[in-house]
Structure 1
């Protein structure tokens, strides 16, 4: 079995995603790993055919059409900077976001590392934004980072978003061999303002941060808090002013 065989199997199934399970079973490969292989391979192949500068120019032209007449001169003023950042963003898009586990680290270890990566992404971005921010090294702490703003310390809990379009203000239940997941002590606890002042959800694919004040999350009922759609927290998407507002 080689990569060519796997690609041929999907071609024979007309690229239908439902066939991935059968192919994975046939070749004794985890379904998630096979889907990842197809996704990365096709992104790489498609990227070879894309001229980023041309794609950027096409997008700039479309954006120009959307802008009202009274803002045309303003757009002209920032057009060069807009094109430069847009080309960088399009590169991330056509390569399927930030690279993930290219060294094939064990899945259990990678899950833990990925959690750390979300924390580091936020801390780096907070520092870049001009905030005095650092990680908290004590694993048992209910918050992951501290921001010192105007001589006030803010506790920040950070969670990574890898797939899906929702977040939860509740810890995962503890599981694994030898752990009784029905025991109350192993049940995930709700995250409240008693634990942290700010909750940050980090999209690990592109680095976008949702910066949410916990007094907003505290108002959610117990059922709603476990499944919040990203569209419901759009106002907090890249909203770094939340940090400043917490000390007013």
Structure 2
């Protein structure tokens, strides 16, 4: 493996050199890039003092506070904040949650990764205090059920690992011999008829975007295909959405 590092070093660690090196050694570009990322994150994490780094973060936050009330509030949470920052920095310095360390075949891993997003959300919902469970029927248009305030909410869960977009439209069916234009193979729009809540789970760090379908239903046919995460920032880790949707009217 050192030869791959040496060749990247000869190319001044430029990312556009990865494809050339991969081709030379009969490797996939994605595979070699993943190796570099894993190696370099490991190297850097081993020399960084996370305790000291968390202290620096705390100091910078403290410097930015000018309001006296905020300063007092900060003193109250300072110790707890430092602990959670150190934990969060550990995840950051390892490039998020471990992914496919056993080199499972890509097709199988794609399906497994989809399941992992579902399990991450269900676990986090339970941790947040909600009665939540997975739906085992694969043909169902929703993946989980939340039972709260004597009401049931259907939840569709999608995993995201890269990029800044989500979609309220299923993927078109692909593959050799499949007519992509046939109505049965064209991805269908996800609406409130399918589920009550759409959750996008960042598989790298576990962040959940909890989006009510009442919001998504208002999107036009073009907009629903590609929605920026910045457009749904109000739903990022917004677990109160579940309470609001099950509150008595």
TM range (shorter): over 0.9
Between 228-237 and 173-182, report the one with greater CA deviation.
173-182
- What SS is found at the alignment partner of 2:210? strand
Render the CA deviation track for 1:100-125: whole Å, top value 9, x for unaligned. 00011111000000000000000000
Q: Which residue of 1 aligns with 2:59?
A: 61
Residue 96 of structure 1 and its aligned partner are, at CA, apart by 0.3
Compute the TM-score of the two structures, normalised by the length of structure 2: 0.97
Between 60-69 and 92-101, report the one with greater CA deviation.
60-69
Q: Which runs of at least 4 in structure 1 moved beyond 6 Å after TM superposition?
A: none
Q: Partners of 2:202 and 2:9 in 1: how far apart?
A: 32
Q: Partners of 1:12 and 1:187 in 2: how far apart?
A: 47
State the number of aligned residues: 246
Render the CA deviation track for 1:166-223: whole Å, top value 9, x for unaligned. 1000111111233322322111111000000000000000000000000100000111
CA root-mean-square deviation: 0.9
- What SS is found at the alignment partner of 1:183? coil
Q: Partners of 2:103 and 2:172 in 1: how far apart?
A: 26
- What SS is found at the alignment partner of 1:54? helix
Q: Partners of 1:34 and 1:160 in 2: how far apart?
A: 23
Q: Which residue of 1 aligns with 2:90?
A: 91
Q: Which residue of 2 aligns with 1:139?
A: 138
Compute the TM-score of the two structures, normalised by the length of structure 1: 0.97
Render the CA deviation track for 1:44-68: whole Å, top value 9, x for unaligned. 1111110000000000000111223
Task: Please list, as runs of the form range in 1=range in 2, the aligned pairs for 1:30-49 lying within 5 A after superposition.
Answer: 30-49=28-47
Q: Partners of 1:145 and 1:22 in 2: how far apart?
A: 44
- What SS is found at the alignment partner of 1:201? strand
Establish whether residue 221 from structure 1 lines up as the match of residue 212 from structure 2.
Answer: no
Q: Which residue of 2 aligns with 1:170?
A: 169
Q: Which runs of 5+ in 2 are unaligned?
A: none
Establish whether residue 8 from structure 1 lines up as the match of residue 3 from structure 2.
Answer: no
Q: Which residue of 2 aligns with 1:187?
A: 186
